Chains A and B, each alone.
Chain A
C-alpha cells in the first residue's frame, strides 16, 4: 500500500509570499501530525489532528501558520507572509491513532524562503 505522500518535494519562495504544503496520509489513519525540521535541530511538533476532534495547535510558532484537514484525510499546512526563518523541511506523519502507535512519515517538503 501507499505510504504518506507530501507535495511539493521542494518549494522556493520569496519572503512575504504565502505557501501551501500538502500531505496525503495512509488510508484509514485517523491521526495526522505536522513537524518542522531545521538544520541541526530535532523535529519540532507543529500540529496534531485526530479524527473529528479539535486539533492540537500548540506547536504552531506564530499566527502565520495554519493547517486544516479535510474529510479526515488530506491535510494542508499554510504559511502566510513567509520569513527566511521559516526555511526548513516540513514533515507530515500519520498513525492509526491508538496509544503508543508508531508514526509513519512522509518524505517531507523542503521550503526555502529567499
Chain B
C-alpha cells in the first residue's frame, strides 16, 4: 500500500542553523510534491511545489529537493528563526487524472530554539 513518512514527529534546532526535514514515500509514483506549514489551531499554508522532473526548488530561505530514485524529498530552512517553529507537512499527488487528490504525511513539528 502507498505510504508517506516524515522522518520524525519533532525536530529541535538552534536558531541560525539549517533545519532539514525528510519526506519518504513507498509504492507511489507522484506527479508532484508540495510542502505546507501548519500552525496550531490553523489550516495548512502552502509553501512550495516541486514536480517529478525537477531536482530542486528555492524560495527565499526555503529549499526543496526531490529524488524520485530514492523516493525522498528534503525540505531545508536556512538561517532558521523562532518564527519558523511550526508543523511542516509534505503532500504527494499521483500521476494522471487523479492528481488533484493529495496524500499528506503526518508532519514534523519543528521547534527553533533562540
Query: Which residues of A are at the interface with B, using a C-beta cutoff of 8 A?
Result: 4, 31, 35, 40-43, 45, 48, 50, 56, 91, 93, 97, 99-100, 102-108
Contacts and interface: CB of A to CB of B under 8 A. Distances in A.
Interface residues of B, number: 24
B113 to A, nearest CB: 23
Q: Label chain B's interface by main secondary structure.
A: strand
Contacts of A103: 44, 46, 102
Interface stretch (B12-20, B57-65, B74-82, B93-101): B93-101
In the A-B complex, list the 8 residue pairs whose CB atoms are closest, starting with the nearest.
A105-B43, A102-B46, A43-B104, A42-B106, A42-B104, A105-B44, A91-B43, A106-B43
Contacts, number: 54
A42 B107 contact: yes
Given A99-B100, A103-B102, 8 more contacts: A41-B106, A42-B104, A56-B101, A99-B99, A100-B32, A106-B43, A108-B41, A108-B42
Contacts of A93: 43
Interface of B: 4, 31-32, 34, 41-46, 49, 51, 89, 91, 93, 99-107
A110 to B, nearest CB: 9
Name the residue among A40, A48, A105, A106 with the largest chain B CB count within 10 angstroms.
A105
B100 A105 contact: no
Contacts of A4: 43
A29 to B, nearest CB: 12
Contacts of B4: 42
A102 B93 CA distance: 11
